[in-house]
Amino acid sequence: MSIVALLREKSQNNILLFSDALLLAEQCNMDLLAVEQAALLGNIWPERYQRHMDIFSAAQQHQLLDSTVALIGCGGLGGQVFGELLRLGVGQIVAIDPDSFAAHNLNRQLLCTVEELGQLKVQAAVRRALSVNPATKITPLALAFSPVIHKEVRKAQVVIDCLDSVADRHELADFCNTSKIPLVHGAVEKWFGQIGVQKESDLIKELYQKAPLHDKIASPSVLSCTVATVASLQVAEAIKLLLNLNSPLIDKWKSVDLLICEIEEIGSQQ
C-alpha cells in the first residue's frame, strides 16, 4: 500500500494523529518530516499543526516544512526564536553559536536550564528539538559566524540575526546581501528592542552607522519579556518571508518600548 493510501486510512477528518505519524514513519522506513510533508500534500493535516488550519493552507504549512532557516545566535533572542520555529513547523534549522551556557543566562534564555549549564547552546537546541518537534532537522554549528560556515548558511531561505556584536552584524548583513538572502534583524536591551528586515537594502549599515565596530557589550541588562517580544516579531517576519506574504517591515525597522507599550517605525531605506 502506498504512503498516500496509508495516510488516508490512518487519518480522521483529514487529521493525522501524532502517534500514527510516528508509527507510519517506522513502518514505511521514512523520517517523520517526510511523513508530515506527504500528509500535507494530500491535504491531511498532522495533528500538531491542527491549530494552524484557519491561518495557513495545507500548501503553506508544507512550504514551512520544506523550508530552511539559518539562526545566527542561540542565546536570548535565538533560543526563543528557535522554539517558535520548531512549533511552527520549519523543516530545517541551521543553528549557529560558539558559546556555552552560564548561570547569568537563566534569566532570559529559554534553552538554558540548570541541567544545561556549561553545555554548548547548539547542542541544547538539538535536545530541545527532539523533545518539542522531532520532525525538524537541526544542523548544529558550534562556531562563530565566519566564511567557514557560509556554505551551510547559503542553504537557508531566510537568515535570522540574534547576534550581540555590531561587527558580526555588519559581516552577516554583507554576506546576506551578497548571497541575496533576506535577513531578519533583532536586538534588545533593558525594556527596549528593535526589529528590521533587510532584503534589498543596507538596512543594518544604516541602523548601526554611528555604532563602533567593536566586540559585544559586556553583560548588557536584558529582560525576558523584551527578548520574547522581539523574538516573536522576528519569527513573524521570517514566516512571512518564507510564505511570500506581504510585510510593511521589508527594508525598514521598528523600535519596541515595553515601558510605554509602544512599537514605532523609526527609519526606512529610500
- Residue 202 pLDDT greater than 90, yes or no: yes
User: Quick one: cell of 181?
Assistant: 538572502
| 100 neighbors 119 (Cβ within 8 angstroms) | yes
Summarize the confidence of residues 21-40 as an average pLDDT.
95
The whole-number pLDDT of residue 220 equals: 79
The whole-number pLDDT of residue 265 equals: 73
Average pLDDT of the chain is: 93
Between residues 157 and 4, the one the model is more confident about: 157
- Residue 266 pLDDT greater than 90, yes or no: no
Question: Where along the chain do its domains lie?
Answer: 3-58, 67-268
Q: What is the gyration radius of the CA atoms in the chain, in angstroms?
A: 19
| pLDDT band per the 50, 70, 90 thresholds, residue 268 | very low
pLDDT in tens, 100-122: 999 999 999 999 999 999 999 99
| pLDDT band per the 50, 70, 90 thresholds, residue 3 | confident
Summarize the confidence of residues 42-70 as an average pLDDT.
97
Query: Is 0.75 topped by the overall pTM?
Result: yes
- Range of weakest confidence among 109-113, 182-186, 215-219: 215-219
Task: At 255, give phi and psi (nearest 5°).
Answer: -95, 150
Give 210-216's long-range contacts (Cβ < 8 A, gap of 24+).
Answer: 211/166, 212/166, 213/166, 213/167, 213/170, 214/166, 214/167, 215/165, 215/167, 216/163, 216/164, 216/165, 216/166, 216/168
Q: What angle do CA 47, 48, 50 make, to 5 degrees?
A: 60
- Residue 269 pLDDT greater than 60, yes or no: no
Which of left, alpha, beta for 9 (phi over 0: left; psi -120 to 50: alpha)?
alpha
Between residues 137 and 5, the one the model is more confident about: 137
- Residue 1 pLDDT greater than 80, yes or no: no
The whole-number pLDDT of residue 264 equals: 86
At 205, which amino acid appears? K
User: Selecting from 3.90.1150.170, 1.25.40.10, 3.40.50.2300, 3.40.50.720, what CATH number does the domain 67-268 have?
Assistant: 3.40.50.720
The C-alpha atoms of residue 227 and residue 108 are separated, in whole angstroms, by: 7
| 186 neighbors 194 (Cβ within 8 angstroms) | yes
Give 108-115's long-range contacts (Cβ < 8 A, gap of 24+).
Answer: 108/76, 108/222, 108/223, 108/224, 108/227, 109/75, 109/76, 109/79, 109/227, 110/79, 110/80, 110/83, 111/74, 111/79, 111/82, 111/83, 112/79
